[in-house]
Amino acid sequence: MTSLAELLLESTENAADEPFLVPPDASALTYADVWERAGAIAGALHGRGARPGDRVVIQVDKSVDNVALYLACVLSGLVFTPVNPVATTAELDYVIDDADPAVVVTDRPTETEIDRPVLTFDSGAAVLADDTERRFHRVDRDPTDLAALLYTSGTTGTPKGAMLTNANLVANARALVDAWSWRDDDVLIHGLPLFHVHGLFVALHCAMLGGSPVILLPRFDAEAVLAAMPAATVFMGVPTHYVRLLADPGLDSRRCGSMRLFTSGSAPMTETVHAAFTQRTGHRIVERYGMTETGILTSNPYSGECVPGTVGFALNGVELRITDDDGADVSAGTTGSVEVNGPNVFAGYWQRPDATAESTRQDGWFVTGDVGRLEPDGRLRLEGRSGDMVISGGENIYPREIELILDQIEGIAESAVIGLPDEDLGERVVAVLVADGESPAEAAIRATLGDRLARFKHPRALVWVDELPRNTMGKVQKHRLRDQLS
């Protein structure tokens, strides 16, 4: 079985002198250039003591060197452990404590002491000038060896590292290239962050398997995407990206003339957005469904009918089933828990056998936490999530993580964090609070949140109520709060 490094090196061999990373305002780097940078960065990591199997925690802004850094880890068998660039020091420290990395890579001045070797990544040039061993060559990896550790939270509010192996990433990359008929002449517009499955593995691996150029935008920006479109063939986005593209009068069928594939995922896309996009551009959006723990599971077909409201068919090698509360299979058309199996399913949560066991059936199938049903033809229709996770602009936000902080603030008796519908973000975070005596000032609450949580997780509104609605078991009825406040 091929390792991820072998797959990516072999796939890009014939494109060595072709453009790979094309920043909008700087010259392109070829595949050979990027592999060379990756080799140099791998040398710098090695110089700081990182050895195959070690974790490397990374908090850097999106850039060509961020991609090279990822490939450096792939080459040298290090476990790529990215952290959102807007994460707070407290959030970064949590990952460092949990993942126990050999090296931390950061492009910002570190406010707290990091008690392990640090590679300061203020620019790739600095790393290239590093006097450590250059031109690091590929390290052999077994299929079960870890390639990445991606942190994702859950009902407990504490993030867990999803362990993704070489075999997971290789299987998913191949299945996607096949599902979307990736072509040698494809050009990808990349406007996604580089610390999630979507921007990192789905987008980059498809492009690399095709030896394709990637127009690497520093962040999503509708105007920049539209400017890149005439030279491109593929765009991958979250629903908020499509809502923002539709809000731009520059989006029309002429602008999309060279495009062949638009995909969406990470959050549900409304049928209204699907229809508006097709009407304006003449293109369908191929909606697919995935998770950090599993990569992409299903996709609407590239050739064949795309059905809005469904996320399509299981990818090659992926098995899907729907089960009832007792874990028994239910027939097509019946709503239940979505469970999956296949070479793409992760190896469990890092040092959390309890959490791994909770989400895994005895026969090894993974319980996604999503609720849905299979159509008679095998398409999956998602109908909700079993937990109360909020997806805002394609970012998962876990209410428990915010509630734990709010509940500790003096003057707050209790809190319930919910997601309310939002045209732009899909859902926006709202905190419903019960005061304990005199309610604290909003500024004080926001200051406490500011120290602990990245800003995108902060509630957009604070709503004070006399009490939270509860069922007879004493559990807060968030659906009632959502209904009242929507």
Rounded to the nearest whole angstrom, what is the least distance from the CB of residue 202 to ligand MLC in the complex?
Answer: 6
Comparison of 94 and 128: residue with beta carbon closer to ligand AMP = 94
Is residue 197 at the binding interface for ligand MLC, with CB under 6 A as the rule? yes
Is residue 161 at the binding interface for ligand MLC, with CB under 6 A as the rule? no
Is residue 240 at the binding interface for ligand MLC, with CB under 6 A as the rule? yes
> Is residue 380 within 8 Å of residue 386, measured between CB atoms?
no
**Closest listed residue to residue 222, CA positions, set 239, 202, 242, 203:** 242
Cα separation, 219 vs 222, whole angstroms = 10
From 101, 265, 268, 336, residue interacting with ligand MLC (rule: CB under 6 A): 265
Q: Please give the C-alpha separations between residue 282 and each of 253, 259, 262, 268, 276, in angstroms, as whole numbers.
A: 6, 11, 11, 21, 10
**Closest listed residue to residue 397, CA positions, set 86, 65, 189:** 86
Stretch that binds ligand MLC, among 128-136, 289-297, 312-320, 375-383 (CB under 6 A): 289-297
Give me the 85-124 binding string for ligand MLC, x by CB under 6 A, dash otherwise. Answer: ----------------------------------------
Residue 459 touches which member of ligand MLC, ligand AMP, none, C-beta under 5-8 Å by kind: none
Q: What is the DSSP letter of 329?
A: B
Rounded to the nearest whole angstrom, what is the least distance from the CB of residue 61 to ligand MLC in the complex?
Answer: 11
Is residue 219 at the binding interface for ligand MLC, with CB under 6 A as the rule? yes
Please report the DSSP string for 129-187 in residue order: T--S--SPPPPP--TTSEEEEEEE--TTSS-EEEEEEHHHHHHHHHHHHHHTT--TT--
Residue 392 touches which member of ligand MLC, ligand AMP, none, C-beta under 5-8 Å by kind: ligand MLC
The residues binding ligand AMP (CB under 6 A) are 152, 197, 265-268, 287, 289-292, 311, 368-370, 382, 385, 391, 396
Q: Which amino acid, 461? A: A
Comparison of 292 and 341: residue with beta carbon closer to ligand AMP = 292
Cα separation, 65 vs 23, whole angstroms = 11
Q: Which amino acid, 94? A: Y
Is residue 425 at the binding interface for ligand MLC, with CB under 6 A as the rule? yes
Comparison of 35 and 242: residue with beta carbon closer to ligand AMP = 242
From 141, 196, 255, 373, residue interacting with ligand MLC (rule: CB under 6 A): 196
Comparison of 12 and 168: residue with beta carbon closer to ligand MLC = 168
Cα separation, 382 vs 269, whole angstroms = 11
Task: Write 277-281 long-range contacts (CB < 8 A, 24+).
Answer: 277/242, 277/245, 277/246, 280/246, 280/251, 280/252, 280/253, 281/251, 281/252, 281/253, 281/255, 281/256
Using CB under 6 A as the binding criterion, the count of chain residues that bind ligand MLC stands at: 22
Comparison of 145 and 370: residue with beta carbon closer to ligand MLC = 370
Q: Which residues bind ligand MLC (CB under 6 A)?
A: 192-193, 196-199, 219-220, 238, 240, 265-266, 290-292, 392-395, 425, 455-456
